């Protein structure tokens, strides 16, 4: 593959010069969470596997009719070779007539090789310019710096540790030309942090979603839809954005207000823009025919200050502006963590009110519409849920699963940032372990867990103990011993058991891994279970209460 630039020899010499200069001065690889040593030795113009479905490789686009694009890449103390490889991949795999420019926005990096040496190198490449912030602004505001500086019809916001794959650009531009109020993202492959290998995404298609702590999650596309999209290459509606690569028309992006610059540094902007686009007359789609590789890191952008509180405050802002009454689930599941407890100051509250007014001006739909129409497979937790989501054994990482014969078994396709709604269970404040509108109990003498009808809704405490209730002896915020309490019909005493993962020896599902009750034992991790969420609706149960407290505290 020939690079898109002319004086390749001069560029290679300069590249070797700055990499050699930076190598003994830069932090170790652990600082970057990437094998930078190997990245430095890997070609900036390497060939990577074309991961598009076969149908995409035959699609034709008339580049002369497509809109132009500016690719905006903010960075802060990014690994030098990863940043350069990102730029090279764009130049190598983008039609020249479509690529207006690449704008690198330096968010006040402190590493010296990212100053003059980087500027000198980028001057050798076509269509690349570097803008330098005079103070730290964060990823979100830096993206807006680049967007305001750009003149192209379309802005693509790309992380600084990506690689554009073959034919990545044309599908996004063609889709935006046809649907200018769409927010578009490529289908994201991985780049291994250790081997720097470009890794195709799994064969099972996923789109973006969220959980009730407003963490980004992956939502599995149903098998029949996966087959359709792989055979046609058609766009897939996505409830939220992964965030590392986002394409928008300048006109629509400006109309809905760009990125919310009240969000600090990094975190929440991908969910916020997804909510806003859908609620305010646009769409969010993923294009299988456009592929970009990305290095996934826990915190891809460096922080000033307490990053947990920065991200939490960002998510509070997203919830307050866009989620209406559903925000109670965010607050009830987030503020159980003391490290995340934070409040808005007066200026931040005023900024939130301005965004709410902007939402009214745009005549945006409410969050209930979003839940029912955009992510109907995501169930709302029961109002009396104390624990909710997947139930995962901390030792084996296997999760509860409902079998067709109503036994509770286990599978190893667990949460891990994916949403599998049919695996969601809840434990009510009264101690009922439920799956949808059914309850789980033990039908003695078998120790297995079975799905049955729930007791009457007005059952008193005594009746609940006759039925059998579950409680969690917490060890951490969302995990602990799962205990089963039931009245012994002979002694009338309340017997206590613990749920443990075992290899089943009973005739039904023999030799399968199953949760069953047994005697409680300390330090047995097969008796310890984690839940996706623990809710405390008495603790900042809604943001009106939280906001009132904030006003009183900050005035």
Report how far apart the first and last C-alpha atoms of the chain are (Å, whole number): 62
Secondary structure (DSSP) of 351-388: HHHHHHHHHHHTTPPPHHHHHHHT-TTSPPPPTTEEEE
The pTM of the full predicted model, rounded to 2 decimals, is 0.88
DSSP 407: B
Mean pLDDT of 31-41: 93
Count CA atoms closer than 13 A to 457's CA, side-chain side. Answer: 2
Mean pLDDT in the chain? Answer: 90
3 state DSSP class of 340: helix
Mean pLDDT of 114-127: 95
Domains defined along the chain, listed by start: 8-294 (3.90.550.10), 307-378+537-554 (1.10.8.460), 385-534 (2.80.10.50)
Secondary structure (DSSP) of 65-94: GSPPEEEEEEESS--HHHHHHHHHHHHHTS
For residue 530, give every residue at least 6 positions away whose Cβ sits within 8 Å of its Cβ, in sequence order, or none: 391, 392, 394, 476, 478, 479
* pLDDT attached to residue 120: 94
* pLDDT attached to residue 543: 45
* pLDDT attached to residue 554: 35
* pLDDT attached to residue 416: 52
**Over 80: is that where the pLDDT of 333 sits?**
yes
Strand 206-210 vs strand 216-220: parallel, antiparallel, or unpaired? antiparallel
pLDDT more than 70, % of the chain: 92
User: pLDDT for 1-30, tens place per residue?
Assistant: 444 566 778 888 998 999 998 888 898 998
DSSP 447: -
Residue scoring higher pLDDT (303 or 503): 503
User: pLDDT for 256-294, tens place per residue?
Assistant: 999 999 888 778 899 999 999 999 999 999 999 999 999
Say what the alpha-carbon torsion angle 429, 431, 432, 433 is, to the nearest 10 degrees: 100
Using CA atoms, how far apart are residues 393 and 296, in angstroms rounded to an integer? 25
Using CA atoms, how far apart are residues 370 and 365, in angstroms rounded to an integer? 8
**Over 70: is that where the pLDDT of 551 sits?**
no
pLDDT band at residue 302 under the 50/70/90 scheme: low
pLDDT band at residue 338 under the 50/70/90 scheme: confident
Residue 233 near residue 56 (C-beta atoms within 8 A): yes
User: pLDDT for 376-410, tens place per residue?
Assistant: 988 899 989 999 999 999 999 999 999 999 999 99
Residue scoring higher pLDDT (126 or 9): 126
pLDDT band at residue 421 under the 50/70/90 scheme: low
Q: At what angle do helices 346-361 and 543-554 cross, to 10 degrees?
A: 140
Residue with tokens 């903010």, as numbered in its chain: 74
Residue scoring higher pLDDT (214 or 421): 214
* pLDDT attached to residue 546: 43
């Amino acid at each position: 593959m020939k690079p898109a630039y002319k004086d390749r020899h001069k560029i290679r010499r300069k590249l070797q010069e700055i990499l050699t200069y930076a190598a003994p001065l830069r932090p170790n690889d652990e600082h970057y969470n990437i094998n930078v040593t190997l990245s430095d030795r890997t070609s900036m113009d390497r060939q990577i596997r074309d991961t598009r479905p076969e149908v995409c490789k035959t699609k034709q686009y008339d580049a002369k009719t497509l809109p132009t694009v500016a690719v905006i890449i903010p960075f802060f103390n990014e690994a030098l070779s990863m940043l350069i490889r990102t730029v090279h991949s764009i130049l190598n795999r983008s039609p020249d007539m479509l690529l207006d420019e690449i704008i690198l926005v330096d968010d006040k990096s402190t590493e010296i090789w990212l100053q003059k040496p980087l500027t000198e190198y980028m001057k050798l490449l076509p269509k690349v310019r570097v803008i330098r912030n005079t103070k730290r602004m964060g990823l979100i505001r830096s993206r807006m710096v680049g967007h305001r500086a750009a003149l192209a019809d379309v802005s693509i916001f790309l992380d600084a540790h990506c690689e554009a794959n073959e034919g990545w650009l044309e599908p996004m531009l063609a889709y935006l030309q046809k649907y200018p109020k769409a927010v578009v993202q490529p289908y994201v492959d991985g780049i291994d942090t250790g081997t720097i290998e470009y890794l195709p995404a799994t064969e099972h298609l996923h789109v973006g979603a969220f959980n009730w702590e407003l963490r980004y999650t992956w939502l599995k596309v149903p098998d029949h839809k996966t087959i359709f999209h792989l055979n046609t290459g058609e766009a897939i509606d996505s409830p939220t954005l992964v965030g590392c690569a986002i394409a928008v028309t300048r006109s629509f992006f400006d109309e809905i207000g760009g990125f919310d610059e009240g969000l600090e540094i990094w975190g929440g902007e991908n969910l916020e823009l997804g909510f806003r686009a859908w609620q305010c007359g646009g769409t969010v789609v993923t294009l299988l025919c456009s592929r970009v590789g990305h290095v996934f890191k826990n915190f891809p952008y460096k922080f000033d200050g307490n990053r947990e509180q920065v991200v939490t405050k960002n998510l509070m802002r997203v919830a307050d502006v866009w989620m209406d009454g559903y925000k109670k689930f965010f607050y009830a599941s987030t503020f159980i963590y003391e490290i995340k407890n934070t409040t808005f100051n007066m200026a931040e509250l005023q900024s939130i009110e301005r965004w709410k007014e902007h939402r009214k001006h745009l005549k945006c739909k409410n969050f209930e519409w979003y839940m029912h129409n955009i992510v109907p497979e995501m169930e709302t937790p029961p109002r009396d849920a104390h624990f909710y989501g997947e139930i995962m054994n901390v030792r084996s990482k296997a999760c509860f699963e409902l079998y067709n014969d109503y036994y509770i078994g286990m599978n190893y396709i667990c949460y891990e940032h994916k949403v599998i709604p049919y695996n969601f269970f809840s434990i009510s404040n009264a101690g009922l372990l439920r799956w949808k509108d059914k309850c789980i109990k033990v039908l003695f003498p078998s120790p297995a867990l079975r799905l049955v009808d729930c007791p009457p809704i007005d059952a008193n405490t005594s009746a609940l103990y006759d039925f059998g209730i579950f409680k969690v002896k917490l060890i951490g915020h969302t995990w602990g011993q799962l205990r089963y309490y039931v009245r012994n019909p002979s002694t009338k005493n309340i017997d206590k058991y613990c749920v443990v993962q075992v290899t089943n020896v009973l005739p039904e599902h023999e030799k399968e891994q199953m949760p069953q009750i047994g005697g409680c034992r300390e330090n047995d991790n097969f008796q310890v279970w984690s839940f996706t969420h623990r809710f405390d609706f008495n603790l900042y149960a809604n943001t009106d209460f939280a906001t009132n407290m904030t006003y009183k505290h900050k005035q």
